[in-house]
Structure 1
Amino acid sequence: MVMLYLPCAPKDITVTACISKLSDPKVIVVEKAGIAYPAYISCLKDNADYLDEDFGKDANDSQASSTPGDDSFVLDEWDTSLLYLDPGQWKDQDHYEVLGISKLRWRATPEQIKRAYRLRVLEHHPDKKAKDGDINDDKFFKCIQRAYAQLYDPILRRQYDSIDPEVDFEIPKPTETGDFFKIYGEVFEREARSNFDSWRSFEYLDEEKERVENRDEKRWHEKKNKAQRQKRKNEDNARIRKLVAQALAQDPRIEKYKNEEKIAKEKKRQEREEASRRAIELDKKRQEEERLKELRLEEEKKKKLEDGKKEKERKKKELRKLRQDVRKIFEDMNYLSLATKEDMRFSQERKMAELNLLLENLDLEETKSFNKDLAKVDGKVTDVDAARATVAQYIGKAVEKIPAVGSGFIIFAPGMDIAAKIRQSKAAKSNAENTDKFSSAKWDANELELLIKATNKFPGGTVNRWTTISKWISHHSGLPERSESELIKRMSELKKGSKTKDGVDVKELQFQKTDTSNLNIKDEATIRYDGPQVAKVPVSSEPKKKSEAKPKVEKQWSTSEQAQLENALRKYPPSWKGEGDRWENIAVMVNGRTKKECKLRVKHLSEMVRQKKSQG
């Protein structure tokens, strides 16, 4: 007899309460079954604590140690027909029989599978056969390897065990009579290995899609295999449900349990009826109290609803009266119109429509304030102007709350303009964060000259070229450093020879460095007596005629310039889609060359390549 004791109360408990009385002790019969029972027996033998956290491990260890066949492990009798197995038809072979453990089958442990594999390998390894003088045939050895790979992997073994042809998965017929435990014992032992969440799968029966080379056919095979696996899984689930239903219907323990449960329910029903008869008066009294309480609560709820309706109606009446007062003020002030030609084009109906729209978008407090502000004026011209300003002010508040109503105000205040200003103010606020804090300074002639010198001093390919140029110009000019984008942009303008962004001609800036018109020479020119005498030539006031323009000689491209051009073309290919002009960016990377010269050079090189292809 096993004595079960109540657990101790928690240590942190502070309040005790009596829920009900303990029932009288009863003697019940507990079936010795389950994984906890071996653990309990082990604890009794070892004098250990039954509630220890590791008791489940002991049970598993005891089960593992009691696995049949551990101590007396013997392979099956050798069958010579196994030597004729084809490794290509490995799905048709019995993997357990190949390893010699066909009697154990799904009961075999991983250690037994490994041991059987080693014994088979020692006997049928191709090297051993060749040494003994046998024919060097490794077909059966490949079958052994395939069987071991299939059974030692837990997932692959489950796939094979799910369709094991040597295992009978048929369930007993419902009409079969006899000892229930004999008939269903082996069936439940066979099915119990799948647990309640069945791991049976049918991937092993899939058609091998690896043999198919066509991708579409592989997809078709995969889709077909998936559908067949699902069909087999559904059939297996239906089989398990049928087995459970039959077992429940024929198990004598279930029938006994149901009868006992029926008797217990009947007894409880009688006790409940007896208790209900004894407590009928108390129930009626309690129901009456609850009914009266519900009536009181219902009356209070109705009263609150009526008070709320009255308050709401009062506010509506007050708001209606305030709106009527505002409309009366409008009528007294001739609808706030100065009767000018400009205001006469608006009808009184239009003005009242805008007033009603304004009043609909003002709450009670705002309407009170609006009425109070309008009541201060007395109908004079100046007061009417103040009233119109007040109306415009409240229109602005309404539009600020609901910008969509701005289109309904035209006369007293431009509602659309107010809504637009609100949007513009928000947009301006966001744009102000993105604008530059400081505008770029203008370029003078000295700074431009330093820029040209710096680009020649630091050619393309220099590390951090434009940062170095900016620091160099700032050091020699004493001005703040320029940004990289500003230097590149100004250099491209100089190469074009056009006007800068500030509208100043580059030639004019260069002329500022060479202009000597304002130079005053106070002393006369000295005469050199030791040198040859040169006849004085009278200076004519008329400017000399310009000589005929000589043909411009094209400047030859150097090796460094050609390399810079090639690097620029790689960086900015024809498919480049970035900021700025492509050829301007290329010209910036080639020192001393303009955009036009770069284009002509590329055109010349393309023509040379075309000629070579046509000749060859």
Structure 2
Amino acid sequence: MANQTGKMLFICYSDEIKDGMSIYVSSNCSPIKALKYEPAGHSFNDAALKLVGFCKEEEVVSDEKVKEQIHVSSTDYSSSSKGKKKSKENQQDHYALLGLGHLRYLATEDQIKKSYRETALRFHPDKQAALILAEETEAARQALKDETENRFKAIQEAYELLTDPVKRRIYDSTDEFDDEIPTDCSPRDFFKVFGPAFTRNGRWSVTQPPLLLGDDSTPIKDVDKFYDFWYSFKSWREFPQEEEHDLDHAETRDERRWMERQNAKMSEKARKDDYARIRSLVDNAYKKDPRIQRRKEQLKAEKLMKKEAKLNAKKQQEEEAARLVEEQKRIKEEEDKKAAEAASNQKKAREKEKKLLRKERTRLRTLSAPVLSLQPFNLTEAGIETLCASLDMEQLKSLCDRVEGKEGTERAQLIKESLNSDITADNLKPPNGSSTVIPTPTRMNGNVSSEKKKPWGKEEIELLRKGIQKYPKGTSRRWEVISEYIGTNRSVEEILKATKTVLLQKPDDSKSFDSFLEKRKPTPSIASPLSARDETEAPPVIAAASKESSASESANNNSQEAAAAADEVVTGDQDVWSAVQAQALIQALKTFPKDANQRWERVAAAVPGKNVNQCKKKLTSMKENFRSKKV
């Protein structure tokens, strides 16, 4: 027990320490050889403080704990290399040796150096000399000495390994790790289940610090970054435990290379499996993530809204198009109805006019019946009918009004005068074939007006035919539209009359051939390759033939006998073929094959001064000459 009085520290030993035996005190010098001795110096002070309970438990490392942390001696341990395989049971815990078991892979280089200095100073063999000398037997002292040295060597090897980045990465890869991944959980426990899994696997990430899962309030952009990071995850984890072959056991260089290739294949397979494990973890989390599910629901709802809006817009367009069609149909029906009413009114007016005309004609016949027997006037029923047919309703009404107030000879005289005036008008009409049109009185809106009728030309008739085909029956205001299509200011009455008269006329056969010649396209002329040949280079035979042919043409104008004689002369001279004509024939036969249209006409046109028969005869003679030479 230690008591402090003033500036002096008095140390008293209990009976457990003394045990009634002599106490030997020594300094830091070499220990005194004695069977029983006590630690001195710093070791004595540390031992004394430990016994009285003044040292902190965190700073005290018992020998038993250190022994438990050391699994193998330094003789069995060798530095980790890629070519050697060691069982996990025989591998010592380097972090625990340096007092960094609570940090492990998170320990920094400064922390490792600091812990090494403290541990090496504490477990240095020189510091353990007192404990070694305290053993009773020589064997026990030697065993404790060997154990102390092995422990110190293990601490040094642990420091060397943990300060080497490559060796430390291999050692951290073989450290104990939970490879299990969660597969299913409830939505409320998602972050509790998957959060630690991502934190645990984040130690293997090349990029540090790794992105964490977050919570339910994490923005969706950060969530996307998190999953992008983990879907492109890159690991630094090594798999030396998967290597089957120990490179130190290779007898030759080739065997060593083969072992390296086999180990590399096994490590690569293990690395692919680990990537697949990380990918399955990310996939499971992505499927169960409530934030992703909410976004999917929002996107689905937005997509559904866009689809509904698109369908509504399309429906509105269809309804608008249907409305326009109905509107156009209604307008067309109204126009057709108005046109039908107008046509019906016109028809009624014509029927009424015809009825009044029949009434006036019957009235004229009735008034003229009593005076038909009067001989001086020579009135007949045929004359009365002619008069009824020639006069219109107003004229008939005016005549009947005048005749009705008369009796006997006066009535007959008026009828006779009207009949004579009608005959005179008929005699003034032009004969058939003349284009002169005598103006006839017409009634328009109750007024009588004279108008010259314009004859129909060929162009108007063609336009009328095309207009009738272009605007068939059922077209609204058909005849007005056809009148505008013709464009010659023809009235509807003239067009209706022309459809019954002009369009029904048969074409004149005498002018059919002339119209055919006008419409026929000119036939393409085939230019002969020798047509541009200079006349001065022509052989004398061809020149003579051309002169004789020109002479025969001039003689043909004078008499038929001279033409026949000239033809005989030309025919006799045309049997002679020059080299130029023969060459032209051969070239034409090559140019126009057998399947060509109008072959011989083209060939004859290409050969100057020869016709079709002469070309055929020349070809036959050329074949015979070729066969005779071949024989």
Bigger Rg, which one: 2
TM-score by length of 1: 0.30
TM-score by length of 2: 0.30
Tell me which of the two structures has the higher relative contact order, counting C-alpha pairs closer than 8 angstroms and 6 or more residues apart.
2
